[in-house]
Structure 1
Amino acid sequence: MHSFPLLGEKIADRWNLSLRQELNMTSDSHLFKQQSGEGRRPLYEGKMIHQFTHQHAEPRYWVDEDEARKAALGRNEDVGQELDYQEYRIALRAVGENTNSRNFIASVIPRNTFCGHSLLVSRITKRQYSFLIYACTLLNSFVLDYAIKMKIARNVSIFQIYQLPVPRLQEGDRYFSEIVDRAAKLICTTPEFDDLAAEVGLRPSSPQPPSPKAGKGGEDAPAPLAQLGRGVGGEGIYGVTDEAERAKLRAELDGMIAHLYGLTEAEFQHILSTFPIVPAETKQAALEVYRTFTPTVGDQEILALIAQGESAQLEFKSTARWNLKDGKKDRTMEEVILKTVAAFLNAEGGTLLIGVEDDGNVLGLQPDYQTLQKKNRDGFELWLMNDLLLKELGKELAPFISVSFHIIDHKEVCRVCLGRAPQPVYINIRNPKSGQLEECLFIRSGNLTSKLDTPRAIANYTKTRWG
C-alpha cells in the first residue's frame, strides 16, 4: 500500500488533486440567504452530502452568485473568467469523528454551487471527469478510510489527506474504467450530472424504483435517494437510485480497490473489522466481491483448453478488432471473428478464445479494449454480442452463443461458446473483385474455417447437416 505516491505529491503527466475551503460560515455569513431566488446558488454544507450522493439533506442557505464571485475574486477584476464553483468538483466532509460509521465521506457536487467550510473541495488538474470520479471513489473506499482513521481524532485536515498513498491510475490501466463506470452510476442520479455521465460513457436508462430496505443503517447512513424526492436537482436518467443495486456497486468498488492496493484477503478482512458500526452485510458483500476479483495464476479450465491446442472445436484468436501488425483498428479482424463463429454454428459447435495467439500465448484483451468507448469487459461483451454477432448473424441465434471472461496470468481472455445452429448460418462478405456483398456459408474443416464455394457443395453440406 505504501508503494504508491502520496496524494499531496505533484506528479507530471498524471492527475493531481488539491484541496481547499471555499466560504467560511462565520466570516462570509453576510453572503448567505435563507431562501432560494433568481441568481442564487445552493450553499453546500457537510451534512448535505454522503458517499456518492449530493442529496443527503436539503440546503439551508443560498448565495447570490454575483456577490460570491466578488468575494472569490477579491481585488481581481471580474471579466467573466470561469471560477471553481462553475465546475464539477469533489466535496469531502471536513468533520470526521472516528466514532462515525465512516470517516471519509465524499461525493462529486453539481456545477454552479458554493460550499461552506465544513466541506473541503477540489477539482482535478487534468480536466477530465473520469479522474474526478476515480479520485472520489478512492476517498470513499474502506482502504483509505482505514488509513485516515488511524490519524484523526475529530476533524479531517488537508495535511492528513495529502499523506495518503494513492495509485494515480490512467485510462487503460487495470480497474480504472471499471471503477469509473460503477462510481458514475452512483453519482449521476440527477440531470445536473448528465454531462458528467455522458463524458464517461454511461448510457441513459429508466430510473429504478426504491428498494424496500432503503434507509436502514443509523443516523449517519446515506439517506435513500427516493426519500429526498427531487432534492436539489431532480430525477436523473443515467445513474442508479435503487438502494440494493447501489449497495452492490459499492461492494464491487471496495473489492476492486482492495485488489488495487495489493491487499491479501486477511488484510482486507482486518480493515473491514475496524468499522464496527458499518452493517455486517455491507462488509461481507465487499469481502465476497474481493474474492470474486482475486487474480489467479489462471482459470484451470481455460488453461486446459489452451494446452489442447486448436482443433475442429477449438480456435484461438489474438484480437477481435485490433490489427497487431498494422497497429490500428481493422474491420477485417471483426470479419474473421464472424467467419469463425458462423463456422462453429454450422458444424458441431465449439469454443473460440479471444486474446490467445495461435501458439497458445496469452495476449489478453487490452489491444481490443482500447478501441472501445467502454474500455473494459462490459464494453467488449456489449460490442461482441449486440453490435457484431447478433447484428450480423441474427438475434435468433442468441441461445446458441454464450460469452464469459477469464483471467490468465493477470490478463483477461474472452471465451465464446457456440452450439449447433438449428438452420444454416450465412454471413454477407464483400467480394474483393466485384465489390458486391455475397451470402457465404462457412464450416469447420479440421482446425480451419473454410468457405463452401459452389452451390452444389452448399446443398450437399446443408442436406447432410440439417436434412
Structure 2
Amino acid sequence: NTRTCPVFRTRQDAELTKAVYRRVPVLVNEISGENPWSVRFLRMFDMSNDSHLFRTREELERAGYRRVGNRFLPSAGGEGIYLPLYEAKMIWHYDHRFGTYAGVASRSDTHLPTPAPEDHADPAFVVQPWYWVPAQEVEARLGDWKRGWLLGFRKTTNTTNERTLISSVLGRIGVGDKAPLLFTDAVPSAVACLLANLNSLSADYAARNKVVGTDITHFYIKQFPILPPERYSAQDLGVIVPRVLELVYTAWDIKPFADNVWREAGEDLRARIRRQWEENAAETGGHRWEPPEWADIAPDGIPFPPFRWDEARRARLRAELDATYARLYGLTRKQLRYILDPADLTERELADILDPWEEVADPLDPAGYAERCRRSTFPGETFRVLKEKEIRQFGEYRTRRLVLEAWERLQEGC
C-alpha cells in the first residue's frame, strides 16, 4: 500500500518475504481498492478521552450494582447494565481470558496475572477488568454490528515479545483502544479462518519483517499477507474451523461465536465439529451442559458445552494450524524450518532460501538440530524469544517440534 520496502535483517528474509507477498495478497489493497474480507476497524474506547464513562468495581458497588459474572447489573429501580472494559493485555492467541485484574492492586501494572490452568479449565470462569462501561455506550459504538462477539488484536508489541501478531475472539463487551476491533461481513466459518491466519506463524513472520516500532496499527494490518476467503476449500474449512472452535470456545461467554459458526455450517462441517468435541472430551474428560445463569443460550446454537481447556492439546492444535497455513502460504519445509529457527539451516541450505532442496534428512532429530544450532553463525533470527522461553519451560523448542511433526502428518495425508 505504501510502496515502501522494509529494511530486512538478511537477504534470506528479503527473498522469502517477497515470495510470500507474490503468492498471498495484502489484507486490504488501498491502491486497487481490493478488500476481499470487507474489513473495517474500530477503536471502541479511548482510554484517556473516554475515561469519564469508566467505573471501577468499588464505584459500582457503592451505587448499588451487583456483579454477575463480569457484568454489573443495577439494583431494583436502578438503570443500565455495565459491561467489562477489556484491555489488550487481557487477551492472547485464541484466549480472551489471558489476563485478569482480579487480585491486582494497581491498574499501572503492565503485566497482569494469567489465570491458573484450573481457572482456564472452568468454562464459567470470567476474567475481571479494572473498569466497566455502560452497555448503551458499547452498543452505540458497535452501530450496525449485530453479532454477539467481536474480533480484536493487540496494538502494542516490542522486541521482547515472543509473538508480534496476537488476535482473539471476544464477547460483546467494551474494549480499550490498545485492542482495535476488526469487523468483516464474512460468514462465521470464514472468520474462524481469518482468526487462524492472523495467529499463524507465517503471518507473524511477515509482520515481524514489516513492523517498525511498537504499534501495530490498522495501517500495518492492512499490509500483512492474508489469504482471501476464496482461497479456502471445503477441505481446508474442515481442518481449520473445528480446531479454531476448540481453541476459542472454552468458556460460556464465547458461545455466541460458536453458535454463529454452527448455524452457518453444513452437515459435513457440523460432523467435523462434533468429532472435534468428542475427541476433546475423550482426551480431557470434557464438560457437562451446565451453563451459568448469565450465559446466553440460544435454542438453535451449538448443542455442546465449551471445549475443555488442555494446555498440551492446545499446543498441538495450534501447531497443526501453523503447519496448515505454512502449506496454504506455499512454503516448503525448508522455508518453514527457517521461519521457526534460521539456525536450523545449514550454510548450503541458506545459500538459496527459495530452493526447496534440503541437506538435512531428518530435521526432527534432536541431536542433529542441537548441533546445527551450535555451529550456526547466521545473523538472522525469527522467534528467538519464543524459543528461549520454551527451552526454559519445556527443555526444548516445543513449538518447532510440534509444527514440523504436524507438517510431516500433512505431507503423509494424515
Match of 2:174 among 114, 131, 151: 114
User: Shift of the alpha carbon at 1:160?
Assistant: 1.3
Provide the secondary structure at the position in 1 that maps to 2:153: strand
Provide the secondary structure at the position in 2 that maps to 1:41: strand
1:132 aligns with 2:191: yes
1:290 aligns with 2:349: no
Q: How does 1:190-339 map to 2 (within 5 A)?
A: 190-198=251-259, 199-200=261-262, 201=270, 202-203=273-274, 237-273=305-341, 274-278=382-386, 279=390, 280-294=397-411
User: For residues 62 and 205 of structure 1, what CA distance do their matches in structure 2 show?
Assistant: 37
User: For residues 31 and 207 of structure 1, what CA distance do their matches in structure 2 show?
Assistant: 41
1:103 aligns with 2:171: no
8 Å CA contact 1:252–1:286 kept in 2: the answer is yes
- C-alpha spacing 1:206/1:154, structure 2 compared with 1 (3 Å): same
User: Shift of the alpha carbon at 1:177?
Assistant: 2.7
Residues paired across the two proteins, number:
265
8 Å CA contact 1:192–1:233 kept in 2: the answer is yes
Letter of the 2:215 partner, please give it.
N
User: For residues 290 and 7 of structure 1, what CA distance do their matches in structure 2 show?
Assistant: 25
- C-alpha spacing 1:4/1:173, structure 2 compared with 1 (3 Å): farther
8 Å CA contact 2:198–2:226 kept in 1: the answer is no
Partner of 1:188: 249
Provide the secondary structure at the position in 2 that maps to 1:146: helix
Where in structure 1 are there 5+ consecutive unaligned residues?
74-81, 212-229, 296-404, 407-467
Q: Percent identity?
A: 28
Structure (1 or 2) with the greater helix fraction: 2
User: Shift of the alpha carbon at 1:69?
Assistant: 4.2
User: For residues 63 and 205 of structure 1, what CA distance do their matches in structure 2 show?
Assistant: 38
1:31 aligns with 2:91: no
8 Å CA contact 1:210–1:242 kept in 2: the answer is no
Query: TM-score, normalization: structure 2?
Result: 0.58
Query: TM-score, normalization: structure 1?
Result: 0.52
Give deviations 1:329-362, integer Å, cap 9, x for gaps: xxxxxxxxxxxxxxxxxxxxxxxxxxxxxxxxxx
Partner of 1:419: none
User: For residues 19 and 154 of structure 1, what CA distance do their matches in structure 2 show?
Assistant: 19
8 Å CA contact 2:149–2:256 kept in 1: the answer is no
Provide the secondary structure at the position in 1 that maps to 2:406: helix
User: Shift of the alpha carbon at 1:100?
Assistant: 0.4
User: For residues 96 and 50 of structure 2, what CA distance do their matches in structure 1 show?
Assistant: 22
Q: How does 1:344-363 map to 2 (within 5 A)?
A: none
Letter of the 1:258 partner, please give it.
A
- C-alpha spacing 1:290/1:207, structure 2 compared with 1 (3 Å): closer
User: For residues 181 and 119 of structure 1, what CA distance do their matches in structure 2 show?
Assistant: 25
User: For residues 88 and 307 of structure 2, what CA distance do their matches in structure 1 show?
Assistant: 22
User: For residues 272 and 104 of structure 1, what CA distance do their matches in structure 2 show?
Assistant: 15
User: Shift of the alpha carbon at 1:207?
Assistant: 7.8
- C-alpha spacing 1:206/1:144, structure 2 compared with 1 (3 Å): closer
Where in structure 2 are there 5+ consecutive unaligned residues?
1-19, 58-70, 74-80, 101-128, 263-269, 285-291, 297-303, 342-381, 391-396
User: For residues 233 and 153 of structure 2, what CA distance do their matches in structure 1 show?
Assistant: 27
User: For residues 115 and 292 of structure 1, what CA distance do their matches in structure 2 show?
Assistant: 39
1:20 aligns with 2:42: yes
Provide the secondary structure at the position in 2 that maps to 1:175: helix
1:169 aligns with 2:202: no
8 Å CA contact 1:101–1:276 kept in 2: the answer is yes
User: For residues 331 and 200 of structure 2, what CA distance do their matches in structure 1 show?
Assistant: 13
1:7 aligns with 2:27: yes
8 Å CA contact 2:192–2:244 kept in 1: the answer is yes
Give deviations 1:271-323, integer Å, cap 9, x for gaps: 1111012221112111221122127xxxxxxxxxxxxxxxxxxxxxxxxxxxx
1:156 aligns with 2:216: yes
8 Å CA contact 1:209–1:242 kept in 2: the answer is no
User: Shift of the alpha carbon at 1:91?
Assistant: 0.7
Partner of 1:303: none
- C-alpha spacing 1:162/1:97, structure 2 compared with 1 (3 Å): same
Give deviations 1:5-64, integer Å, cap 9, x for gaps: 21013547x533222311100000111111252101111110110000100122111111
User: For residues 143 and 31 of structure 1, what CA distance do their matches in structure 2 show?
Assistant: 39
Structure (1 or 2) with the greater strand fraction: 1
Question: 1 or 2 for the larger relative contact order (CA 8 Å, sep ≥6)?
Answer: 2
User: Shift of the alpha carbon at 1:131?
Assistant: 1.6
Give deviations 1:75-133, integer Å, cap 9, x for gaps: xxxxxxx544853221100001132001111111112x01100101112122x211211
User: For residues 295 and 47 of structure 2, what CA distance do their matches in structure 1 show?
Assistant: 23
